[in-house]
Amino acid sequence: MSDRSWYCASGGQQQGPYPEAQLREFIARGNVTADTLVWTEGMTNWQRVGEIPGLFSGSAAPPAIPRAGAPLPSGSIAGGQPLSASFGVWALLGRVLLLMIGTLVVIPAPWVATAWYRWFAEHISVPRRPNLGFAGQPGDIWYVFIILALAGYVGLTGVAALHFLMLPVQGFLGWMIIRWVVANLSSDGRTLSLTFSGNPGLYIGWHLLAFLAIFTIIGWAWVATAWMRWICQHIEGTRREVVYQASGLQLLWRTLVFVLACCSIIAIPWALAWYARWSISQFALVQRTA
């Protein structure tokens, strides 16, 4: 049965297919419970996970407890519950292309950006937060997306000074978008009480540092991971803390592989899905200690 693909029913919607190994991971994390309806080829009807012999009872068992003083597995966080993504290869590529085209045209930018965040959130699995969603509307901060889209054309002017002057503006607009996205995340149709408390001045500073780090060729990866941890530390309103666990080296080599794969053109859809899924899996939830 291990080579089967499974479909899950969540919130009245069909999700999947998922390889059985991934389904067992969902069960272990609590995303899929004994009452979740699933179906695979050969079954006449949907069945609850708990009714399928060997699927639920044998999947939720925790791994062996490491001996005292033993290091945790690489890339893991004690007590952390990692996020996961379930989007398909072609669906992700189509959404990315739609976002790019809408931004280039400028006027549709608020609508395509909002649709992107809504679709992306719906395909992320968060432990103990069923049916993640996004409640933001295109009219909320429409001007932010319009200005960002127009800023993309600044480079065409050939005036380097103008491009550098736009960097702080782009940083501030990015801060507004993160604050808006965090405030509009929802679970089971109810908006979560989340806020982003990061200082806009510090966010702009991170934005400028990330731009300068590009010229170091490899240093940008360490700046990016540190910036991401700073962002996570300022997401508040929940008993669990959002953490980012990737190291600079992990981000660097995966980004290089992604770029090289994209050079072949044909591999872009699979490389994009691989990179995006890994990126989501580097976020986890841990119980706050204070």
Residue 71 has pLDDT above 50, yes or no: no
- Average pLDDT of the segment spanning 79-104: 90
Peptide bond into 17 cis (omega under 30): yes
Tell the burial category of 59 from Cβ atoms under 10 Å away from its Cβ (0-12, 13-18, 19+): middle
Mean pLDDT for the stretch of residues 86-109: 95
Write down the pLDDT at residue 198: 97
Q: What is the pLDDT of residue 154?
A: 85
Q: Which tokens go with 186?
A: 């929802």
pLDDT of residue 80: 62
pLDDT at 125 over 70: yes
State residue 59's pLDDT score: 43
Q: pLDDT, tens digit, for every residue of 161-182?
A: 888 899 999 999 999 999 999 9
Given a cut of 90, is residue 129 above it in pLDDT?
no
Residue 141 to residue 109: CA distance in whole angstroms? 11
pLDDT at 269 over 50: yes
44 has a pLDDT exceeding 80: no
Helix, coil or strand: residue 31:
coil
Q: What is the structure's pLDDT at 199?
A: 97
Is the pLDDT at 109 greater than 90? The verdict is: yes
pLDDT bucket at 139, cuts 50 / 70 / 90: very high
What pLDDT shows up at residue 289? 64
pLDDT band at 19 (very low <50, low <70, confident <90, very high): confident
pLDDT computed for residue 62 by the predictor: 43
Give the pLDDT band of residue 57 (cuts 50, 70, 90): low
CA atoms within 13 A of residue 1's CA, in its CB half-sphere: 12
CA–CA separation, 138 and 120 (whole Å): 15
User: Once rounded to an integer, what is the mean pLDDT over residues 206-212?
Assistant: 96
Q: What percent of the chain has pLDDT over 70?
A: 89
What residue ranges do the domains of the chain occupy? 5-51, 85-287
